[in-house]
C-alpha cells in the first residue's frame, strides 16, 4: 500500500490544517482519537483498501495556540465544516474514534446533510451518572495506557513503554505529543464530556453505527443504549475482548462490522 501523503491546507479564516490522505474509492473522513494521526496506523491502512481516506489533525494536537481561536464545541464543528468545504467533500463517510467520534457526531448534528454515513468508535460526548465516563485526564501520562487498553499483547505492539538507552528520546517525544493531545482534548471533554450532544443526537440524519468495547474502562459499553435512544437511524454493537482502543484490539471484528454497515443499502 502506498504511503499516505501529507499536506497543509489553509482555510479562508486563516486556520491551517495538517492533513494525511491515501487510498482510492469513496471518500472517507477519519477523525482521530487521543493519540493523533499516525500515517502508518493499521486502521487507516485497512480503510485505504476500499476508500479514499482523509485524516486531518485536530486543532491543538500540533500547536496548542490553535485553540485560542476556538472557544467551544460549536466553533470546533464550524471549523471542521469549513475544512470539509475547502476539501470539496460531498456524500462522504465519516468515521471517528474516541474524541474524534465525539467531533464526528457533533459535525453530523450541526450539519445533517454533510455525511452519508457515520460510524462512532468508542465515542466520548455523553454522560450518565449511573456509569460516568472515567477521568483519564487525572492519570499521569505515563500510565494512561493502563486505562485505554484491555489486551496487554496488543498494547505492547501499539503503545510504547517507558524505556532506557537509545529509546529514551523517542519515548520522551511520544510522551510530550500525547500530553499535548490530551491537553487539547480537555478543552472539550473535561471535567465531563457532556456539552449538549444528547440533545443534538436527533438532528443526525444519516445512518449511524456506534461501536463500544465490552471491556472499555473509559467509556462504559452501557452508553450503547444512550446513543441508540437518541439517534434517528442508529445501530449499536459491543465488541468483545476490547477496551477503549477497540479498532486496534479487535481490528477484524471492527472492520467487519464497519464494512457491513457502510455497504448496507441506503435508507429511502
In this prediction, residue 76 carries a pLDDT of 96
In this prediction, residue 137 carries a pLDDT of 83
| H or E segment to which residue 48 belongs | helix 42-48
Q: Please, what is the Cα angle at 67 between 63 and 68, to 5 degrees? A: 115
Pick the more confident residue, 210 or 175.
210
pLDDT at 103 over 90: yes
Instruction: Give pTM, 2 decimals.
Output: 0.93
Closest CA to 60 of 75, 48, 42, 81: 75
Which domains occur in the chain, in start order?
A: 5-263 (3.40.50.1820)
The answer to whether the bond into 189 is cis (omega within 30° of 0) is no
Residue range 111-148, pLDDT digits in tens? 999 999 999 999 999 999 999 999 988 888 778 889 99
3-state secondary structure of 126: coil
Residue range 191-213, pLDDT digits in tens? 889 999 999 999 999 999 999 99
* Cell numbers placing 18: 495538517
In this prediction, residue 216 carries a pLDDT of 98
Q: Is the dihedral of CA 178, 184, 190, 196 positive or negative?
A: negative
Q: How far apart are CA 6 and CA 16, in angstroms?
A: 13
pLDDT at 1 over 70: no
Closest CA to 56 of 76, 35, 81, 29: 29
pLDDT at 176 over 80: no
In this prediction, residue 162 carries a pLDDT of 47
Residue for cell digits 468508535? 121
Residue for cell digits 464526528? 104
Residue range 214-245, pLDDT digits in tens? 999 999 999 999 999 999 999 999 999 999 99
Amino acid at each position: 500500500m502506498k504511503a499516505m501523503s501529507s499536506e497543509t491546507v489553509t482555510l479562508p479564516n486563516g486556520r491551517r490544517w495538517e492533513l494525511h490522505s491515501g487510498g482510492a474509492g469513496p471518500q472517507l473522513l477519519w477523525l482521530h482519537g487521543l493519540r493523533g494521526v499516525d500515517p502508518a496506523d493499521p486502521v487507516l491502512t485497512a480503510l485505504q483498501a476500499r476508500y479514499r481516506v482523509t485524516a486531518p489533525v485536530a486543532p491543538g494536537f500540533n500547536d496548542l495556540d490553535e485553540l485560542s481561536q476556538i472557544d467551544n464545541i460549536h466553533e470546533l464543528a464550524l471549523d471542521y465544516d469549513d475544512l470539509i468545504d475547502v476539501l470539496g467533500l460531498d456524500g462522504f463517510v465519516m468515521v471517528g474514534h474516541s474524541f474524534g467520534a465525539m467531533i464526528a457526531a457533533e459535525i453530523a448534528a450541526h450539519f445533517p446533510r454533510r455525511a452519508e454515513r457515520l460510524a462512532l468508535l468508542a465515542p466520548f460526548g455523553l454522560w450518565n451518572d449511573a456509569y460516568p465516563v472515567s477521568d483519564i485526564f487525572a492519570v499521569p501520562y505515563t500510565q494512561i495506557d493502563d486505562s485505554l487498553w484491555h489486551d496487554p499483547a496488543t498494547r505492547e505492539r501499539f503503545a510504547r513503554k517507558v524505556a532506557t538507552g537509545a529509546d529514551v528520546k523517542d519515548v520522551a517525544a511520544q510522551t510530550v505529543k500525547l500530553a499535548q493531545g490530551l491537553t487539547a482534548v480537555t478543552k472539550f471533554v473535561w471535567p465531563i464530556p457532556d456539552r449538549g450532544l444528547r440533545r443534538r443526537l436527533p438532528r443526525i440524519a444519516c445512518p449511524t453505527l456506534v461501536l463500544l468495547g465490552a471491556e472499555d474502562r473509559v467509556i462504559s459499553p452501557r452508553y450503547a443504549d444512550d446513543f441508540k435512544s437518541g439517534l434517528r437511524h442508529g445501530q449499536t454493537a459491543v465488541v468483545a475482548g476490547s477496551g477503549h482502543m477497540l479498532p486496534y484490539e479487535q481490528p477484524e471484528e471492527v472492520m467487519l462490522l464497519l464494512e457491513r454497515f457502510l455497504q448496507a443499502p441506503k435508507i429511502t
